[in-house]
Amino acid sequence: MALKVKTIYVCKECGAESPKWMGRCSQCGEWNTFVEEQVTIGGSKSFGSGSTSSSSTLSATITPMPLAKVQVNEVSRTSTANAELDRVLGGGIVPGALILIGGEPGIGKSTLVLQMALSIPNRKVLYVSGEESTQQIKLRADRLISPTSKVSGVSADNCMVVSDTSIDRLQSHIDAAKPDLVVIDSIQTMETERVESFQGSISQIKECTSMLMHLAKSSGTPIILIGHINKDGQIAGPKILEHMVDVVLQFEGDRNNMYRILRSIKNRFGSTNEIGIFEMLGDGLREVTNPSEMLLNEYSQALSGVSVAAAMEGMRPFLIEVQALASTAAYGTPQRSATGFDIRRLNMLLAVLEKRAGFKLAAKDVFLNIAGGIKVADPAIDLAVASSILSSNTDIAINAGTCLAGEIGLSGEIRPVNRIEQRVSEAAKLGFKKIIIPKYGARINFKKFDIEVAQVYKLEEAFRLLFA
């Protein structure tokens, strides 16, 4: 069949195709998302050594079978020699898995993956870079394996690198290196001759990912893709990209801060309720095994507007410092600002304090900050946020040995939160003397923890304990 080049328009958000440009996508409803793409009709769909006849023979051997007769073998995972990364992946890398790691430019994605590639014991890794030369990769690797590096267990013996942007040549690289793991940095720089469009286009990303998925599943070799994100914080490319891969990880953090968080957005082989915390150093990423000590500061004297919250990120408890500043508004309209916390939830808590607790904050500027440069979505820190605001407003410091955990309802009640025993245990382990939590209907034995547990039902009860 003769090849024919056809022009279509593809939505960047959902991947919907249209023969003509449209201002609004009829599938996802987004505006100005259609881009022009050139597609080739009549080309071969094979990749590597596959053919049409072999595909027909293979499909003839596939027949439906009862679910009860399906044989399940235990999957052997490959450890990355990085406890935080293994935690997020669910215990290690599964053979044939396609893993996508996204994050902002300069956040440390390439450093994380290269450090992992240098640390995996007795495994050969092929690092394919479309953004950097082999010399640039070597310079970064030298920093990771230098004698003064604080990152241990790295070696360049089993890591092979190549600078190439062609997916069509990838099969020959894999045949020559015979790696146990392949790293693609990044998927937006890869291209194939089967698609007549430029690098980073939706058609190129979708086709290259499809070819890599076929390669990973057919050979059993796990492949890690590094992906860029757009201005909205989403992984660049079509949304179908996240559906095609097995695991989606988000590497985030403030570039002005040294700490990074690795979140699991999607994981077909494990839980998405885990996070990994790293510290960015000049010679690599260091695992943070105790995030509570990282996020808490010790002050020589008590400060108003500061409280400690027992938060949860997935299955992991840690204590964070909540800072607030409430001052008289210099202009007519009070300012509301939050860093690391949802501004809409802050406005809701201020309304509850105004209506239910009787504190006059409508004419006050309120600024809120979660120390450490992390973002927290756990509603259990509501009580700590409200206490910090009131502490700053009254200029009365909260006892440094007190920790808080509780969600605030619209009626001013303190609602129960999940995994309260883990929160209490974490506070006791770090030496806190007292923790204020919601009053539970279920009977929980808190006497086994070496900490005073105060249970409250209303905001007034909590403030009475904090400020006498």
Mean pLDDT of 144-172: 80
Return phi, psi of residue 221, to 5°.
-90, 120
Beta bridge partners of residue 38, listed in sequence order: 7
Per-residue burial over 302-327, b = 16 or more CB atoms within 10 Å of its CB, e = otherwise:
eebbbbbbbbbbbebbbbbbbbbbbe
Per-residue tokens: 459: 């905001």
Instruction: Flag whether pLDDT at 7 surpasses 60.
Output: yes
pLDDT digits (tens, 9 = 90+) for 341-396: 999 999 999 999 999 888 888 889 999 999 877 888 899 999 999 999 999 999 99
pLDDT of 53: 46
Q: Please give the mean pLDDT across all residues of the chain.
A: 86
Determine the pLDDT at residue 452: 94
> Which of the pair, 271 or 309, is modelled with greater confidence?
309
What integer pLDDT is reported at residue 414 of this predicted model? 94
Which residue in 421, 424, 443, 442 sits closest to 434, CA to CA? 424
Q: How many residues in the chain? A: 468
- Reported confidence tier of residue 149, pLDDT bands at 50, 70, 90: low
Which residues have a Cβ under 8 Å from the Cβ of 425 and sit 6 or more positions away?
317, 449
pLDDT in tens, 165-201: 999 999 889 888 899 999 999 898 999 988 877 788 8
Q: How far apart are CA 163 and CA 89, in angstroms?
A: 27
Amino acid identity, residue 59?
S
Tokens 């190129």 map to which residue?
204
Residue 10 pairs in a beta bridge with 17, 35
Within a 10 A sphere around the Cβ of 279, how many other Cβ atoms? 15
Taking the C-alpha atoms of residue 35 and residue 11, their distance in angstroms, rounded to an integer, is 7
Contacts (Cβ under 8 Å, ≥6 apart) of 325: 305, 365, 366, 367, 392
- Please state, for a pLDDT cut of 70, what percent of the chain lies above it: 90
Instruction: For residue 251, give the nearest of 211, 285, 217 by alpha carbon.
Output: 285
Query: What residue type is assigned to position 253 of the chain?
Result: G
**CB atoms near residue 299 (< 10 Å):** 10
CA–CA separation, 412 and 465 (whole Å): 16
Give the side-chain half-sphere CA count within 13 A for 281: 16
Task: Give the whole-angstrom CA distance, residue 203 versus residue 200.
Answer: 8
**pLDDT tens string 248-282:** 999 988 777 788 889 899 999 988 888 888 988 88
Distance CA 449, CA 422 (A): 10
At 177, give phi and psi (nearest 5°). Answer: -90, -30
pLDDT at position 52: 45
Rounded distance between C-alpha atoms, residue 124 and residue 289, angstroms = 27
Q: Which residue has the higher pLDDT, 54 or 75?
A: 75
Interval 205-253: pLDDT, tens = 888 999 999 999 999 999 999 998 876 667 766 777 888 999 999 998 8
In DSSP terms, 309 is beta-bridged to 320, 404
Integer Cα distance of 364 and 389 in angstroms: 10
pTM for the predicted model, two decimal places: 0.78
pLDDT per residue as tens digits for the range 403-431: 999 999 999 999 999 989 999 999 999 88
**CA–CA distances in Å: residue 354 to residues 51, 195, 337, 350, 382:** 70, 60, 17, 6, 15
Q: Rounded mean pLDDT of 331-345? A: 91
